[in-house]
Amino acid sequence: MKKFALAALALLAAITMSAQQSQGRTEKKSFSKEDVEKFKQNAQNRIQSEHIAYLTSELELTPEEAERFWPIYNKAHQEQMDNNQNYRKALKDLKMAVKEGKSETDIKAALDAYNKAKSGQRNVLADYQKDFIKILGVVKTAKLYVAEDSFRTRQIHNLTGGGKGQPGVRPQGNRQQNNGKGRPGYGKGQPKEKPVQQPENI
């Protein structure tokens, strides 16, 4: 999940840069800070929806499995996002402390906070392996970890311009469709039919 989060962040950074470049090229329309933030949020929501659709397709969750799986997955996902947010803040504070020429005491405090936050950049999903096995069994849990890595690879592939169409979502084919008992807290029903409820602080 850490790798997926980093790939998503890289994709958002590229999207933001593209929006800012468009601002410079366009004379008739200017983009405010709010426009850029909205653009980033829409992109993030799209990635989230694609992520849900991809996992649902790969794991072939039954309604009963989905009802138990998504709350646990949401919890792990939120922990990872919190860790990433803490790391970004600590890195920003450290950069500012150095740039502003603060005292060695202040820089040492910022450095300690940075290293502590960096040590928290672990794969949270791995901490929940036992919980996932209880719900999905060994085979589907293994598929979950493979799907996470595969989705991250697809996002990177699209980021570098190698992908076409909808990134991260493969054709459904004859796979069994979820019957509507969706993913509490992370999305309900079929991802393509209803909007995704986004976790906070992402």
In a domain, 78, yes or no: yes
Number of domains composing the chain: 1
Strand partners, 183: 187
Residue 141: other Cβ atoms inside 10 A? 20
- For each of the chain's 202 residues, which pLDDT tens digit applies? 545 454 555 555 555 555 555 444 444 456 787 777 777 778 778 888 888 889 989 999 999 999 999 999 999 989 988 998 999 999 999 999 999 999 999 999 999 999 999 888 777 888 999 999 999 999 999 999 999 999 888 888 877 766 554 444 444 444 444 444 455 554 444 444 444 444 444 3
In a domain, 151, yes or no: yes
In a domain, 167, yes or no: no
In a domain, 173, yes or no: no
Q: How many CA atoms does the CB half-sphere of 66 hold within 13 Å?
A: 25
In a domain, 45, yes or no: yes
In a domain, 18, yes or no: yes
In a domain, 198, yes or no: no
CA gap 79, 61 in Å, rounded: 23
Whole domain around residue 149: which residue ranges?
A: 2-159
In a domain, 36, yes or no: yes
CA gap 5, 193 in Å, rounded: 25
Length of the chain counted residue by residue: 202
